[in-house]
Chain A
């Protein structure tokens, strides 16, 4: 079934179509409004962290500032540089915006996962369905595919501008996004290994299951705990890099590249990039919540049952990550390009790969009934092996560097 595992399909055609359209419109409008609020929230919060007031004039507490900026951008002159590759230049903003929208369609937004039946099915106008626009069987791969396509938006913007700063920015962007995509994928692989499914809905159901319990206090079965925290941290860092947000914003490093890939953009095309950037922040947070924090499946606690509880949990968790991204921006200075590549290739990718292999080994041990002693032996042995390899690698890198430096000193006399 290509369209998905949603129980919706298979009923009457018009009803299915109506419910699907309704979900699409709601998700679309929700995303647009939340981008508006997110821009305002980010500006307000970062002002607070810098002892400033921030936007305060348009609407109460300046909440309509984004709307005012948007209207202003719409009425600005739309420039296409003379040297621009006009097709690529005009295509690029949509290539970054559309994937940002599409990713959101696989994120479960609500539904009762903690209740007695706990399958997240809600009934809309007499149709059973999930509270997500689509639940394709390849779910999370769709996210990876879309975030790869978004790179084309940045790349074509830089190329199509026919100007050097955007080109430099887009070269950086593609290198950065491609290298962090690997770490991102490996972190996702750990989650997929745990869940045994690519469907985001299945992931939430898996995480809603009762987890390890200490006496009467049950620890939720969230992937952040089950996969051992490391994939989560890797995903968070790689996700920030994927979003080109500070401290990884050297794609548009103002001090070095003017505006980076969108230097030559103005008016509505710039607004689309801006929209896509903040929309990506929201969808990335939503994906993190889905992958690692159980999505709409909150700790059952004392709350009553109902699909809206799931939605509340989802927004609470989403908000934590939105806050976190702004907090990163307020705190961390920008990486240098070589530091960025070092972090990606020498730390995140090996770490997530090793962790993935270890999780796989543990699952094999589970399946083969190795027993505790043998399992721990395997883990310790594996870690020792990784440590040895890392030490050897670092030694090799350091000796290569010192030889290179010595050679340079020789040649300079």
Chain B
């Protein structure tokens, strides 16, 4: 038999909550009238949001059209077709580039397996999840929409709710223990430089990318393709 006073203690708990701080913010999805509050909560470092397709510091696209992301996708929401680069005017530094790249956000479950599979760190996830589209065409993001602009920032669709500072560092943090699939880089930052930002600083517990590069003898831009070849042998 429970102590009858416990019922009253429950009432005291709910009454005390009246005077506590609110855990929710005044979020209005960017549709607030002028002057009305519209807060977003800060998101975690490794938040899985809308994807971006990154570019190297020299403006080349990182995607090589290998379709590993499409292969690993459990929701089958990614469609990629590769094509040979024009030798005179290459789109990516390798032999091939992704000339079709589509993600269907009606299917995407934001599991980030594509990001882990990508050998060139071309696809990463930003922290944006407030992009409620209103028709099925908008739901399918094409390569033109996914690839970062010339300033290294993601492109902003009209239905997306980007706020100040949210378009920074959208290439995300390194998620796999051994990025680019190379066991030698386990626990080590091995992050290619990217347009607008350069090479990402290491996370807590990771060694500096510069130290590895000294071992490896490679440069930032070449490193991914080198290690990729190693792992395929």
Q: Which residue numbers of A lie inside 8 Å of B, CB to CB?
A: 45, 48-53, 56-57, 327, 330-332
Contacts and interface: CB of A to CB of B under 8 A. Distances in A.
Interface residues of B, number: 16
B13 A331 contact: yes
Contact of A327 (B14, B20, B21, B22): B14
B24 interface: yes
Contacts of A327: 11, 14-15
B26 A48 contact: no
10 contacts: A48-B18, A51-B17, A51-B24, A53-B24, A327-B11, A327-B15, A331-B10, A331-B11, A331-B13, A331-B14
A52 B18 contact: no
Nearest to A329: B14
B28 interface: yes
Given A327-B11, A331-B11, A50 B17 contact: yes
Contacts of A49: 14-15, 17-18
B26 A56 contact: yes
A56 B23 CA distance: 15
B10 A51 contact: no
A52 B21 CA distance: 9
Contact of B20 (A45, A51, A53, A332): A51
Interface of B: 7, 10-11, 13-15, 17-18, 20-26, 28
Given A57-B28, A327-B15, A52 B10 contact: no
Contacts of B15: 49, 327
Contacts of B21: 51
Contacts of A57: 28
A45 B15 CA distance: 10
B22 A51 contact: yes
A52 B24 contact: yes
A52 B13 contact: no
Contacts of B17: 48-51
Nearest to B17: A49
Nearest to A328: B11
A51 B19 CA distance: 9
B14 A53 contact: no
A160 B185 CA distance: 68
B28 A332 contact: no
Contacts of A51: 17, 20-24
A309 to B, nearest CB: 29
Contacts of B13: 331
A37 to B, nearest CB: 18
Contacts of B28: 57
A285 B70 CA distance: 62
B32 to A, nearest CB: 8
